[in-house]
Amino acid sequence: MSPLESVDERLQQAMKLVLLATVPGMLALFWLYGWGVLINLILTAVTALAVEAAVLHLRKQSIKPTLSDGSALVSATLLALALPPYCPWWLTVSAAAFALLGKHLYGGVGKNPFNPAMLGFALVLVTFPQQMTLWPSAHGMSLLGGLQQVFGFGQAPDAWAQATALDSLRINKSLTMDELFASNPAFGHFGGHGVEWVNLAFLAGGAFLLQRRVFTWHAPVGMLASLFIISLLCWNGSGSDSHGSPLFHLLTGATMLGAFFIATEPVSGAKSPGARLLFGAGVGILTYLIRTWGGYPDGVAFAVLLMNLGVPALERLVASRQEQMAP
């Protein structure tokens, strides 16, 4: 077996484990939102594989080995899990296509400086902000209703969307946190209604990947620790101007998906352990800042992309510190 074949096999095995680890979170999302999660997954997977094959053909590269390594399917899956269920089909397809084109713009697998899934997500979030804020009510959409909503045929269900917990918290001006949790259907026990269980499911999947040593602990621990600390420092209790407790921020939005499946992406992320820890810490801090004072309710995608830009600086900083501390 050549070294190149060995690397390809390790990549394929890692991608299979990542896909397996997303299953608990995917099932939790399906339980919460229904068929829109699977519709998103099918659309992103078909689009990602088609765009990957088309670009490889245009670049006169072998198609089968790259398609079989699983990287395009992983990007498609993470993107599908991040997008709102039941968003228009053309938005989902656009996000997946741009994610793969963004990867190949810099040379393909192993060369992309930005996380492909978050690149596609950020594009449609900036371009179609209204459609990206339409999250469905829990347990409220049949398969037929979901297809009607996604593809725009027939009579789509009325009043199927609601503001998320992060959205509701941002626009709250008068209710205390206790009153907000009690009166707003978007809130559950600690975070978003049902979304807290989704985050716990992604945490379980992330723990599985850590146990299998698919990645190290540095990036997820750095992100979760920094998010916890900054939200604790900025938390003023249950007043109407509260920005949410640390537990709320850990169990709401895409926190656990971001910590264990996005911030750990090996190509666009940091390489050395110290830089990975700083990378994760930066993602956590930026996520909180964007959620609280930025223009978007959840900041994981932009936080990851911004930290992707800072990876070379982080690596130089860690290397410089190690040289200074060396005897």
Per the CB < 8 A criterion, the answer to whether 206 and 81 are in contact is no
pLDDT value of position 158: 54
Phi, psi of 320 (to 5 degrees): -65, -40
Is pTM beyond 0.85? Reply is: yes
pLDDT category of residue 16 using cuts at 50, 70 and 90: very high
Average confidence (pLDDT) over 187-193: 84
Average pLDDT over the chain, rounded to an integer = 88
End-to-end CA distance of the chain: 41
Which residues are CB-neighbours of 310 under 8 A, at least 6 positions away? 279, 282
pLDDT at position 4: 41
- Return d(Cα 189, Cα 221) in angstroms, integer: 24
Q: pLDDT at position 320, please?
A: 87
Using one digit for the tens of pLDDT, what is the confidence trace for 70-108? 889 999 999 999 999 999 999 999 999 999 998 888 777
Q: Determine the length of the chain.
A: 327
Nearest to 30 by CA among 198, 184, 160, 282: 198
Q: Which residue type does 127 have?
A: T
User: Which pair of tokens denotes residue 194?
Assistant: 């049902």
**Torsion, CA 302, CA 166, CA 117, CA 4, rounded to 10:** 90
What integer is the mean pLDDT of 20-38?
95
Task: Report residue 93 CA to chain centroid gap.
Answer: 17
Q: What is the pLDDT of residues 47-59, one digit of tens each?
A: 999 999 999 888 8
197-203 mean pLDDT: 97
Over residues 113-164, the pLDDT tens digits come to 899 999 999 999 999 988 888 888 777 678 888 888 889 876 555 556 777 8
* Per-residue pLDDT at 195: 92
